[in-house]
Amino acid sequence: MTPLIPHPPAETPAAPSNFIREIVLKDLDTKKYNGRVQTRFPPEPNGYLHIGHAKSICLNFGLAAEFGGKTNLRFDDTNPEKEEQEYVDSIIENVRWLGFDWKEPDGTERVFYASDYFDQLYAWAVQLIQSGKAFVCDLTAEEMRRYRGTLTEPGKESPYRNRSVEENLDLFERMRAGEFPDGARTLRAKVDMASPNLNMRDPVMYRILNAEHHRTGNKWSIYPMYDYAHGQSDSIERITHSICTLEFEDHRPLYDWFIEQLGIFHPRQIEFDRLNLTYTLLSKRKLLQLVQDNLVRGWDDPRMPTLSGIRRRGYTPEAIRNFCGAIGVSKTNGIIELGLLEHFVREDLNRRAPRMMAVLRPLRVVIDNYPEGDGSVDELDAVNNPEDASAGTRKVPFSRVLYIEQDDFREVPPKGYYRLSPGKEVRLRWGYLITCTDVVKDEQGNVVEIHCTYDPATRGGNAPDGRKVKSTIHWVSAAHAVDAEVRLYEPLFTKENPNDVPEGQEFTANLNPASLEVLTGCKLEPSLAAVQPFERVQFERLGYFCADPDSAPGKPVFNRTVALRDSWAKIEKREKGK
């Protein structure tokens, strides 16, 4: 087998050019953090990372790298009911696959967990109780919602707000000891029930949750809320710039309030727009529903927008990083066309993917005037990648019986059809010029075989007499073809906004029934017989494809990464115009 072209090493992330960078530059100029830049990527391990997380990963790691800083990978694992070690492992694998690392020069890794800080977070909660800034509340969740008020009406103070420090300390310790059932009590910050910012109306800091944690086991019966744990975890790690998406902008006053009340190191929280893509859902809760309801094959289904899914589909980390760098960051949430992401995938694969020939819907072709017998096989020279001269060439076998695509033949050609038809001549890629002479049909009238003649003087595809041929088609030698399964993908949803459904319906109503088409009996050139999982190729004239982990020796399975052109957008435009 001719080896496939290896992928080049991951490129250095491009420095983000955006308003966040300007803030960091100003802080460096004023020596706000003694010239340090330290960021963090803080996923909650309750699902797999998706393309939206890639934007945050590239931003945090790229920003620190530009200014000689560091980035921590920290798991905000404060909700044991939804978190699993599987998610931790997948997050680590996917951040590395995307091209980033978190090692110190001595080899130690800056991987942290909010659960590493549970003892310190508890001690700080006690400090806030002692200073009269936190109290134990017995209101139920429903009662708390009613007391909270609305955007136009102030909240009402809890009847438990003025408990003594001693009583609060006693109750909080008993909460930790597991004396009370789930939901019986909470610890709340004593801020301002009249604040126009609902997040400041005595938010919950701890809730009772008698659940086993994937790292701390059954040590804790109480767990901190994200708004309490996040800023203090940043402070412990001495993060300088805590970069969050825009939905946390209203939480920033609370982030600052906790840090100021405790008198600890104060990072700067900065918010940016989250990534939204057309035809794509980026809610972990809804992606989990797709997995649990078996509407997809798992988190790494190539139709999923998870990094595991798009990796399996054949997307490259370089393409994702280039895409994230191109869309930039802002303070306004918008939506990006899926076609832009696919553009960067095509652009990257065009440079790196070797060209191979594959016939997905085969039609048998017999070259009547080609010599018969085992010794009558040509080996033609084929270029691996015209975009990369160093990729070299390979030998492609040619024989009397070939396969071509069914779409490359029409018995009665429509106007403007230049491919093979009776009496017409076409060029076989890297091969010869052939002319159709006869057609064989089955009892139903379907074309099952065509007969042709070839011009032996046109080896390599060029006619010595200079005659012009308008069409070049790909092919595979039947005697050497490798049978394969090929999976063709379209967007998982039929609407640009998958959540756009009539009242009473779920987002699943917009699932695309044509999002996956599985083709069997596809014919590949022999160079692809021993393809390894995740190797990427271009099937000439068809698109970019990636070998799936389901592949077995002699039985390759390929996923279509992306077509050579955006056929989906054209179909949608045509359908809307009807």
How many alpha carbons fall within 13 Å on the CB side of residue 156? Answer: 7
Q: What angle do CA 31, 34, 37 make, to 5 degrees?
A: 95
User: What token pair was written down for 340?
Assistant: 């832009």
Catalytic annotation present for 284: yes
Q: Which helix (H) or strand (E) holds 364?
A: strand 362-367
What are 183's two structure tokens?
Answer: 């939901």
Q: Are strands 425-428 and 433-441 parallel, antiparallel or unpaired?
A: antiparallel
- Tokens linked to 1: 């087998």
Which is the catalytic residue, given 82, 174, 238, 274? 274
Distance CA 234, CA 55 (A): 20
Tokens for 360, please give them.
């997905």
Instruction: Give the chain's largest Cα–Cα span.
Output: 102
Q: How is residue 90 annotated by DSSP?
A: H
Which helix (H) or strand (E) element contains residue 489?
A: strand 482-489
Contact 69/35 with Cβ under 8 angstroms? no
Catalytic residue among 284, 313, 321, 523: 284
Give the orientation angle of helix 317-327 with respect to helix 51-66, to 10 degrees.
Answer: 80
HEC per residue, 129-173: HHCCCEEEECCCHHHHHHHHCCCCCCCCCCCCCCCCHHHHHHHHH
For 392, other C-beta atoms within 10 Å of its C-beta total 13
303 labelled catalytic: no
Report in angstroms the alpha-carbon separations of 191 from 139, 234, 429.
17, 21, 73
Task: Give the DSSP H/E element, type plus range, for residue 9.
Answer: none
Please state, in angstroms and rounded to a whole number, the distance separating the CA atoms of residues 325 and 417.
41
Q: Is the Cα torsion angle 399, 401, 406, 407 positive or negative in sign?
A: positive
> C-alpha angle with apex 208: 203 to 209, nearest 5 degrees?
120
* Category of 482 on φ-ψ map: left (φ > 0), alpha (ψ -120 to 50) or beta: beta
Which of 44, 84, 387, 572 is flagged as catalytic?
44
Query: Does 21 qualify as catalytic in the annotation?
Result: no
Reading the block at residue 178, the tokens are: 């597991």
> So which residues are the catalytic ones?
44, 274, 284
